[in-house]
Amino acid sequence: MSGSVASGATTAFNPLDLRHTDDPYPRLAALRRERPVSTPLPGWHVVVRDADVRAVLADPAVWSSRRNNTSVPETPEADRELALSQLDPPAHTRLRRLLSPAFARTFVAELEPVVRERAEALADRLEQGTDLVAGFAAPLPRAVLAAFCGVDDADAADYDRWAGAFTDLLGHRAHPEWPAFERWARRTAVGPALNGVLADLDRTEAVTFLHFLIVAGVPNLRHALGNLVLRLLREEHWRADGLPEAIEESLRLDPPALWQMRTATRDTTVAGAPVRAGERVVAVVASANRDPARWGEDADVFRPDRPGLRAHLAFGKGPHACLGASLTRLQLRVATEVLIGRYPGLRLAPDFRFRRAGDFMSRGPAALPVHLE
């Protein structure tokens, strides 16, 4: 999925420029070698090396997540309307502790039959020449999340629409679908959904989290699954044996979320570069995951037997490491098992060309036209 670098390979990586994020890897490789910290915008610093990215993500006291990517005004009640990813300790610690039982591996594992059923139903409906993103990778996470949240048949169609409509953490309360979603979410918050954890949350917190699940879970799983299928087909690794390792290597090479943002809480430095309080730092996990200093000189090569694969940063690191990592891994494994079992000769259409889907932070194939065999 990489191409050549234009002249000026050390140009700063601008995370808000789609020309930089459509095919980011050559530019990021050049920056790792020559400019480990760049400043594409005033007050924005971009770090690209594994050690620096890990240091930023692991230290919320210096690198704050609070209010990043939000339009919620700063008020005493604001924490209840901020997503889990937008909070710092102690508010983040409290909320994550309350929510964790819903994401325990034993609880998530019980969803496997449901994930398999949903995946098989979608696989049955695929047709020759179909777009695997539209027909499988996009609807599957919506269906699985609905099951995870205990959506009943009466609300299933509405929930599927909401899961397609809510794509980010900005402006959702002005969306025409928001009032209906909020009414459903308030009903759900007092029921047994998510292992009953929502009962321990304030109602506004519960609604915020149910919305956050859609924003964080649906697009990222769609991109991760599309990236995985594309990687396995291109690497001629379309087989079930060694699949868990292949999934981790795909997540390392092609993480659905390219970067995470933090804000300096005080004057400090990152990789020797000065950063003032209030300035932004963009930690590019997609670059850290390909850093030869961590992964060896073949860091750009798909190698599922690579030692220590689970140390990749596709799920982040530190207190904000992805709460839903187990659910994501389950969906990726089961979905791919179903596709491989049903279509062992699946192949990309001969005229396939990668087109990127996603916002500034995320990346996956816009479409995967395939032949079913």
Closest CA to 207 of 233, 234, 179, 243: 179
| Lowest-confidence segment of 119-123, 169-173, 262-266 by average pLDDT | 169-173
Contact 129, 371 (CB under 8 A): yes
In a domain, 9, yes or no: no
In a domain, 184, yes or no: yes
Look at the chain and report how many structural domains it folds into.
1
d(CA 152, CA 254): 34
Which CATH number is 237's domain given? 1.10.630.10
Contact 316, 322 (CB under 8 A): yes
Tell me: the pLDDT tens digits for 95-137? 999 999 999 999 999 999 999 999 999 999 998 889 999 999 9
In a domain, 175, yes or no: yes
In a domain, 10, yes or no: no
In a domain, 2, yes or no: no
Tokens 């060309």 belong to residue: 353
User: What one-letter code names the amino acid at 254?
Assistant: D
22 — pLDDT class (breaks 50, 70, 90): confident
In a domain, 350, yes or no: yes
Tell me: the pLDDT tens digits for 334-356? 999 999 999 999 999 999 999 99
Contact 372, 139 (CB under 8 A): no
Tell me: the pLDDT tens digits for 206-218? 999 999 999 999 9
Instruction: Give the range of the structural domain holding residue 98, as residue numbers without chain letter.
Output: 18-73+80-371
Instruction: State whether residue 116 is helix, strand or coil.
Output: helix
In a domain, 215, yes or no: yes
